[in-house]
């Protein structure tokens, strides 16, 4: 705490921002407050702006909410990966609904938001984690960056969100890295990604600064020896290219892919392919889509930002529907093609949506009965929206992980 920064208050937080932070108004200025709950009152200490936001931290809770609970995770207040764990779960759902309502209001979208449903699992659901690795004064640090800075690492024992098998492999690999680091600092190991499926298979991805030397190869070999039949292991060299795949190597005698089954469809996942991180919630979403859209009557679907086909293929399984997927990552497109159990009905195109999904393409294909799109966080561009409308599709399913970009996109329809 910086004792020179001004203290303000008592001040009440009325609402949460979509990031989960409370918004407190003081002298007509908005301060973003981590770990706040609406209707609580605080003494706050203002902080230096972070990423352009005026922020303040709670010094004292003057009036606490009945929904405030002790987070189960001991790393919660330093890690910054979760934002709602200090709030009772039923109230978390209520607040998430209000966040979506406020985002829609902000962009003047008149829409009634449904109740937010329970996640089938509140902990131990997440199937992927990326841990940062650094060596500082000879000591190996491995964990997560706190929310506001990439300079620090919060070391963790285990993460409640993750599937237990990921925590198990994390601790085993951490031990190996520490042992090797005691002999020779592992300066070139940058990050570790662990993915898992519900069949308890893992895919390990180790990021290195440069091609491994002999001693670094023995570290990779020791990690490989931890793995079981069915597991997969890659390492890759750090790349500053934002969109291209990095230089990567598949470790011999391990599997090239892992698979996850959604409904009856076995989905292949390659190392750099996006995969929905909560299988149970993905199934809920697909059931919701089925409850609204008469899937049996559909003849042709566009799947924009298709990834490996996770959203469209389970939906159309055993139906006589044709499918066109567009996706920027060539690796994900290869997965999608492999996942389309009978390739006669599905076509996948590798390309940037902005270049590929244009009037020319739309004229080449029949009018779709449904357009599904699951864009990255930033949402999608007006041009793409105009083309979606131009397809004449009677149904559009837009999946979004950012209420603000969703609301903005809806406001432009």
Contact footprint for ligand SAM (CB under 6 A): 274-276, 305-307, 310-311, 327-329, 332, 352-354, 374, 376
Strand 370-373, strand 395-398: pairing: parallel
Beta bridge partners, 128, equal 195
| Tokens coding 403 | 């209420």
Tokens found for residue 196: 């898992």
DSSP string, 309-347: STTTHHHHTTS--EEEEEES-HHHHHHHHHHSSSGGGEE
Identity of the residue, 216 or 327, whose beta carbon is nearer to ligand SAM in the bound complex: 327
- What is the Cα–Cα distance from 89 to 348, expressed in whole angstroms? 40
CB 33, CB 14: distance < 8 Å: no
Q: Which residue is nearest to ligand SAM (CB)?
A: 307
Q: How near is the Cβ of 260 to ligand SAM at its closest, in Å?
A: 10
Report in angstroms how near the CB of residue 244 gets to ligand SAM at its nearest: 12
233 vs 357, beta carbon nearer ligand SAM: 357
Closest separation between CB of residue 203 and ligand SAM, Å? 16
Alpha-helical segments (H) within 107-147: none
275 vs 408, beta carbon nearer ligand SAM = 275
> Which conformational region is residue 379 in: left (phi greater than 0), alpha (psi within -120 to 50 degrees), or beta?
left
The Cα–Cα gap between 98 and 100 comes to: 5
Least distance in angstroms from the C-beta of 18 to ligand SAM: 17
41 or 356, CB closer to ligand SAM?
Answer: 356
Nearer to ligand SAM, 167 or 405 (CB): 405
Residue whose token pair is 């308890």: 200
Q: Which is nearer to ligand SAM, 244 or 354 (CB)?
A: 354
Least Å distance, CB 242 to ligand SAM, is: 11
CB of 177 or CB of 332, closer to ligand SAM: 332
Among residues 275 and 348, whose Cβ is nearest to ligand SAM? 275
Residue 274, classed as helix, strand or coil, is coil
Strands (E), 239-385: 247-250, 258-262, 265-269, 300-304, 322-327, 346-350, 370-373
CA distance 290 to 314: 11
Query: Which CA distances in Å does 223 have to 176, 197, 217, 230, 247?
Result: 7, 19, 10, 15, 20
Task: Please state the closest distance from residue 384 (CB atom) to ligand SAM, in A.
Answer: 9
CB of 304 to ligand SAM, least distance (A): 8
Q: How far is the CB of 307 from ligand SAM (least distance, A)?
A: 3
């Amino acid at each position: 705490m910086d004792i020179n920064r001004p203290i303000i208050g008592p001040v009440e937080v009325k609402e949460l921002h979509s990031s989960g932070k409370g918004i407190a108004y003081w002298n007509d200025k908005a301060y973003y407050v981590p770990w706040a709950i609406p209707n609580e009152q605080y003494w706050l200490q203002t902080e230096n702006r972070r990423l352009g936001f005026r922020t303040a931290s709670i010094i004292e809770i003057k009036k606490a909410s009945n929904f405030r609970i002790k987070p189960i995770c001991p790393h919660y207040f330093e890690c910054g990966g979760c934002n709602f764990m200090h709030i009772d779960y039923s109230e978390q759902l209520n607040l998430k609904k209000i966040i979506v309502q406020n985002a829609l209001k902000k962009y003047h979208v008149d829409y009634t938001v449904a109740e937010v449903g329970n996640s089938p699992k509140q902990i131990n659901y997440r199937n992927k984690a990326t841990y940062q690795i650094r060596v500082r004064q000879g000591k190996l640090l491995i964990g997560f960056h706190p929310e506001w800075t990439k300079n620090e690492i919060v070391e963790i024992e285990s993460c409640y969100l993750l599937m237990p098998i990921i925590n198990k492999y994390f601790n085993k690999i951490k031990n190996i890295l520490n042992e090797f680091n005691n002999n020779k600092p592992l300066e070139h190991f940058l990050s570790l990604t662990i993915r898992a499926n519900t069949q308890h298979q893992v895919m390990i991805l180790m990021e290195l600064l440069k091609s491994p030397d002999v001693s670094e190869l023995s570290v990779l070999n020791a990690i490989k020896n931890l793995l079981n039949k069915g597991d997969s292991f890659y390492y890759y060299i750090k790349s500053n290219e934002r969109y291209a795949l990095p230089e990567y190597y598949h470790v011999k005698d391990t599997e090239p892919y892992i698979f996850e089954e959604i409904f009856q469809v076995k989905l292949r996942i390659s190392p750099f392919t996006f995969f929905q991180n909560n299988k149970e919630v993905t199934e809920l979403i697909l059931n919701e889509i089925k409850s609204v859209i008469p899937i049996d009557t559909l003849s042709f679907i566009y799947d924009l930002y298709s990834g490996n086909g996770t959203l469209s293929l389970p939906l159309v399984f055993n139906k006589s529907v044709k499918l066109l997927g567009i996706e920027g990552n060539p690796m994900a497109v290869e997965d999608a093609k492999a996942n389309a159990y009978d390739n006669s009905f599905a076509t996948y195109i590798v390309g940037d949506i902005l270049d590929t999904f244009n009037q020319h393409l739309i004229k080449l294909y029949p009018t779709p009965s449904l357009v599904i799109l699951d864009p990255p966080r930033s949402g999608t561009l007006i041009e793409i929206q105009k083309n979606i409308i131009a397809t004449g599709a009677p149904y559009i399913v837009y999946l979004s992980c950012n209420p603000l970009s969703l609301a903005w996109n809806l406001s432009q329809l």
